[in-house]
Structure 1
């Protein structure tokens, strides 16, 4: 009600009638559809599979519009992969929606979509957006804004299907389902799909394509184990484990920016103090979801004014720093599931100039979540090697 106005049983509610869904035929030529976007081989294979899915006859049913999953590793370039899909539907006269979980992601995507589609009107929707009553051929919105629509789009692309707030929120899943025409199509994007979607894909019930490699052709960095005592003990004893300090110094000495993830906001300030005592000449900061200066600190980190940033999972997505190493302390925490560990690890090795960034799981013990995260990363590297998506020296 705060976002969209009060709704009462006695108030007239209006909705428009949807026209028939269009099919994205890509002009009949996959090569032509993919050629203009400069995709890598792995990206092209996934986008081609998705284009064939869009060209299939509508199969609207009681289960809702047909779905397709693009399962792409972190840093694979998911945004670029959807450009030919949007183009195919737009060329057929359809309307498309791209939904992302957070406002900052939406604002980052808006100029990229406008640049990619200069002849289309891109409408950006989020809480307080001035464009909420405008109509465009491309709508970019936070997932909450999907409540505004009923059977309005021929194609709905949902980015980061596993992320808060979309994940495990029935209301938002309902809104997304209703935003698409009954005979329209869904595209899900994720580096870490929820377990139910993974099971559907494995059983052949959900058509999907995997993108197991980044554009630079290097394998994903495999996390290393570092056995240390837990953070709360570090804080009690007022000292850091020597192996952790040595490893951090090695990362900083090689010129890397260091993400250091902790499991709890309350650990950031005291842990940062211990780090500053151990490395007094190194500029470092801490930030979290409750920090009003978070955006400024992240910008300073990107610009190398800050070399080490202690943070929480608030920065597990959407932040790309060209030369970075990742440390996750208390990696055995219950708050770090497989998906979170993979997303945090995905901050390293994203740049072609530093494709082999370090990832360290620092913890007193090894957990199932850590094992599953490492297993999935290694599995993607194997698939990439077999598919010929890695540079020759890594196959």
Structure 2
């Protein structure tokens, strides 16, 4: 099927269509030898007692990386892949880190594939003993299967719980048939996979642009003392406060990410005194009202939300600006910084949202995050995907 036909059938953008077609070509390739099961950094955790390959003759599942920026529409891009396998009476597994994502994806897949038996699996699911052509599951459910699927799609492989968990990586490998195929989805793939892609040893496609066709917002830097110091001397927050005020006055919703839960309440108290005309709240993994606050933030009742990386993924709020305090913290790696930055500029009405890294130091992780974002913009412009190109 041509790129134009794929785009027309599934309603994809040019960038999405090109990536989907590259993945379809990968699915059409014959099974490869055991060396295709993974690069060295990804085989090592799987090798304990497993041998070099899944099946006879050294056959092991081949891998493909779909590297799509935040907000690129990864879900829509996998529809052609699911269709290609299902049309051949094959079985597909889509694994994603969170239960809420499973529940959100299930009706979308049911609408796209109305004649397909879809099973959803997560902790407490009523369908856990049922079989289907298309299985949608949380990553822990991978351990239920052995060589059951022709295609295994791992969404957000860089996120908890899949990332750095050899047991789940082992389970994922053995859920796939020996001659099956793996597709990894990520906006921030782990560096070993990035290196494999750069060397050409991992089949991959990049989607360097969001659906609206505008460049990704590039983070800028504000030199700021650590939040720990700023809480003791609130005057030190002045540069950050000035920038926050600009965002609020331009009518943006503001994410303010911090590295420590203990910083949230005292920082919220300071910001409430400064921004008296705006609703300021804080939330974290320990907050029982987190879901309600996120809803209020989406509804613009809350204008400035101080939070941790608990909201770095899966939250889309139109017209958002992002500020990351203590951006030099060791808790914020390149992937976290890119994901947090990815909350800004997601809507077509406000595609150039602001992203600010506020810290006393300019770290390698921050430099790599900026390099990754500017690199995607460069690729998008080169390929003619940007509306301003």
Whether the TM-score (by the shorter chain) exceeds 0.5 is yes
1:161 aligns with 2:160: no
Q: Distance in 2 between the 1:142 and 1:242 partners?
A: 43
Given that residues 7 and 14 in structure 2 are in contact (C-alpha distance below 8 angstroms), is that contact kept between their aligned partners in structure 1? no
In structure 2, the residue matched to 1:364 is 360
1:95 aligns with 2:91: yes
Q: How does 1:182-221 map to 2 (within 5 A)?
A: 182-221=178-217
- Residue 133 of structure 1: SS of its match in structure 2? coil
1:39 aligns with 2:35: no
Partner of residue 145 from structure 2, selected from 140, 149, 152 = 149
Q: Distance in 2 between the 1:132 and 1:378 partners?
A: 43
Q: Offset at 1:217?
A: 1.1
Partner of residue 24 from structure 2, selected from 24, 39, 51 = 51
Q: Distance in 1 between the 2:373 and 2:3 partners?
A: 30
- Residue 258 of structure 1: SS of its match in structure 2? strand
- Residue 201 of structure 2: SS of its match in structure 1? coil
CA-based RMSD: 1.2
Q: Distance in 1 between the 2:338 and 2:320 partners?
A: 15
1:66 aligns with 2:62: yes
- Residue 351 of structure 2: SS of its match in structure 1? coil
- Residue 225 of structure 1: SS of its match in structure 2? strand
Given that residues 258 and 324 in structure 1 are in contact (C-alpha distance below 8 angstroms), is that contact kept between their aligned partners in structure 2? yes
- Residue 184 of structure 1: SS of its match in structure 2? strand
In structure 1, the residue matched to 2:238 is 242
In structure 2, the residue matched to 1:342 is 338
Given that residues 34 and 48 in structure 1 are in contact (C-alpha distance below 8 angstroms), is that contact kept between their aligned partners in structure 2? no
Q: Offset at 1:29?
A: 5.2
Q: Cα–Cα, structure 1 residues 111 and 146, in superposed 2: closer, same or farther, change >3 Å?
A: same
TM-score using structure 2 length: 0.92
What are the ranges of 5 or more consecutive residues in structure 2 without an aligned counterpart? 35-51, 54-59
In structure 2, the residue matched to 1:25 is none
TM-score using structure 1 length: 0.90
Q: Distance in 2 between the 1:300 and 1:240 partners?
A: 29
Q: Offset at 1:98?
A: 0.5
Partner of residue 171 from structure 2, selected from 172, 175, 182 = 175
Q: Distance in 1 between the 2:318 and 2:129 partners?
A: 38
1:91-147, Cα deviation, whole Å (9 max, x unpaired) = 010111100111122222122212221221221111111110111111111110000
- Residue 24 of structure 2: SS of its match in structure 1? helix
Q: Offset at 1:30?
A: 5.2
In structure 1, the residue matched to 2:48 is none
In structure 1, the residue matched to 2:380 is 384
Q: Offset at 1:239?
A: 4.2
In structure 2, the residue matched to 1:12 is none
1:224 aligns with 2:220: yes
Q: Distance in 1 between the 2:276 and 2:102 partners?
A: 38
Q: Distance in 2 between the 1:312 and 1:178 partners?
A: 35
- Residue 185 of structure 2: SS of its match in structure 1? strand
Partner of residue 280 from structure 2, selected from 258, 278, 284 = 284
Q: Distance in 2 between the 1:383 and 1:139 partners?
A: 34
